[in-house]
Amino acid sequence: MFAYYIVMLAIAVLVGPFLLLKRRARYGMPQKLGIVPEAIKEKYKSPDGVKPIWFHAVSVGEFNAAWPLLKRLNDKHPQQTIVISSTTGAGHKLALERAASFADCIYFPYDLPWCTANWLDALRPKLVTIVETEIWPGFVNQCKERTIPITMINGRMSPRSFGSYYRFRTFFGPILRNFDAIGVQSTGESERYKKVAGDNLPLQVLGNIKFDGLKPISRSEQDELLNRLNLSPDDLVFIAGSTHEGEEAAVINAFKKLPEPKRKRLIIAPRHPERFDKVADIIRLAGFRPRRFSENEKFEQEGNVYLLDAIGHLAKFYSVATVAFVGGTLTPIGGHNIVEPLTYSVPVIAGPHLHKTKDVADALKAHNALIIVQDEKELAQQLELLFNDANLREQLGRHGNEWLKESQGAVERALTMIEKAAGLNSAVPETIQVETAQGERR
């Protein structure tokens, strides 16, 4: 571990000055450097006080994944204190908006001994739970030195990331073996974890807890959203969610090619808040007028494109969609939540870069519930096809929604795992038939 800390310190010295020039990197800097607010120290200083469960959700996607579990844990064990850490400013902001009423929301410290030690000594958590696969070796090691149990929920290891983990398995294997329980999304992930760290890992296939949080809004809420946007139920609405650099232009160009005279609308939701203004400029340069959520604007005429320039609203917006495109897939990011639109039986289009969500994508393709396009040209073709064929839209959306409902239930299994690790009760996981992302039943 000494060599690891030397490398991390060298990186901090070399890269630190450049990071300070970036606004995103400066979010929460004092806490990341191990400076614990006095209010937090005071709250948890009593040796006899209730020790928190510390959840780490690096950013917005991970927090959204953990949210249904956090709510369920708080509902069932309201006396249990909870700490939620994030790394990004957007993730921290979302945690504060949703969970501040029952959890302390902090920034995760840098993986240097004095940074992590300060927080572990101040919080003295009864359990640390990592959301998905945010493995920091020094932090994990310090938890074990303090005999703090550490678990993982919604664990994932894509085929692409598996290559790196496997190549350095002599380093990552012992770190993974320090976990007291690892809950993974699918049997595919389970096998990849075993290949990195051995067959004796404490693995459980829980399913994807993010799916449990995908519940449709009410009809009245949907009507309210339609009214806010000045949409009618007959409008054909194309939503491009979680888009990255280059994808907005492709989406707009595909949208332009749709034939008239059908009333069609385009909504774009960029993945990162710092790109909101830039995307507004992209919309203008394409000959459209941006209408912004942050300015409480709405569709007024055919030349409008709606910019969802806020975090945490995309899932609700899918309720008014006719067709959805999920970003991070035309560019080599690896994909985002391709299941979210299926909450409303909305057919989903994605690009070819799905390595971060491969198991889910494979399952949806096997269920005839996902359209994969290779480029902007194919996106335009498939978008026109779906806009013109209501039966095809219904079929794709229905297949996807059925698969989603069959795949839900992971929250209760994850809760049982956490209760056992934290000593909240002596619950034993019950045998539940769940379809994994590869279609197997367990």
264-270 vs 236-243, strand pairing mode: parallel
Tokens of 301: 């005429």
Same domain flag for 353 and 416: no
Instruction: Give residue 377's pLDDT.
Output: 97
Q: Is 154 helix (H, G, I), strand (E, B) or coil?
A: strand
Catalytic residue, chosen from 62, 340, 376, 412, is: 62
> What are the residue ranges of helices labelled H in 230-351?
247-256, 276-285, 314-317
Give a yes or no: residue 272 inside a domain.
yes
Same domain flag for 202 and 153: yes
Instruction: Give residue 3's pLDDT.
Output: 87
Same domain flag for 319 and 204: no
Same domain flag for 318 and 370: yes
Q: Is 47 helix (H, G, I), strand (E, B) or coil?
A: coil
Length of the chain counted residue by residue: 442
Give a yes or no: residue 134 inside a domain.
yes
**Known catalytic residue at 62:** yes
Same domain flag for 417 and 396: no
Could you give the CA distance from residue 153 to residue 369 in angstroms, rounded to a whole number? 26
Instruction: Give residue 428's pLDDT.
Output: 43
Give a yes or no: residue 402 inside a domain.
yes
Give a yes or no: residue 11 inside a domain.
no
Q: What sign for the dihedral angle of Cα 431, 154, 349, 390?
A: positive
- The pTM assigned to this predicted structure is 0.79
Instruction: Give residue 213's pLDDT.
Output: 86
Question: Alpha carbon 424 to chain centroid distance?
Answer: 27
Amino acid (one-letter) located at 252? I
Same domain flag for 229 and 287: yes
Instruction: Give residue 261's pLDDT.
Output: 59
Instruction: Give residue 439's pLDDT.
Output: 39
Give a yes or no: residue 197 inside a domain.
yes
CA-closest candidate to residue 51, choices 125, 119, 118: 125
Across the 442 residues of the chain, what is the mean pLDDT of every consecutive 10-residue run? Answer: 86 76 77 96 84 96 93 96 95 95 97 96 97 93 97 92 94 96 93 96 94 93 97 94 98 93 90 96 97 97 94 95 98 96 98 93 95 98 96 97 94 96 67 37 32
Q: Which residue has the tokens 């606004």?
A: 23
Q: Which residue has the tokens 């897939």?
A: 329
Give a yes or no: residue 23 inside a domain.
no
Same domain flag for 342 and 416: no
Residues 334 and 340: beta-carbon distance below 8 Å = no
Same domain flag for 392 and 253: yes
Give a yes or no: residue 253 inside a domain.
yes
Same domain flag for 66 and 79: yes
Same domain flag for 260 and 387: yes
Tokens of 403: 């698969």
Could you give the CA distance from residue 192 to residue 230 in angstroms, rounded to a whole number? 48
Give a yes or no: residue 20 inside a domain.
no
Could you give the CA distance from residue 39 to residue 130 in angstroms, rounded to a whole number? 24
Cα distances (Å, whole numbers) of residue 185 to 132, 153, 319: 9, 8, 26
Number of domains in the chain: 2
Same domain flag for 178 and 233: no
Tokens of 208: 């994807």
Phi, psi angle pair for 213, to nearest 5°: -85, -5
Secondary structure element (H or E) that encloses residue 193, with its range: helix 187-197
- What does the DSSP assignment read for 321-383? -SEEEESSSSSTT----SSGGGGGT--EEE-S--GGGHHHHHHHHHTT--EE-SSHHHHHHHH
Residue 279 domain boundaries:
219-406
Instruction: Give residue 401's pLDDT.
Output: 97
Same domain flag for 122 and 186: yes
Query: Any idea what the CATH number is for the domain that residue 322 is in?
Result: 3.40.50.2000
Query: Any idea what the CATH number is for the domain that residue 166 is in?
Result: 3.40.50.11720
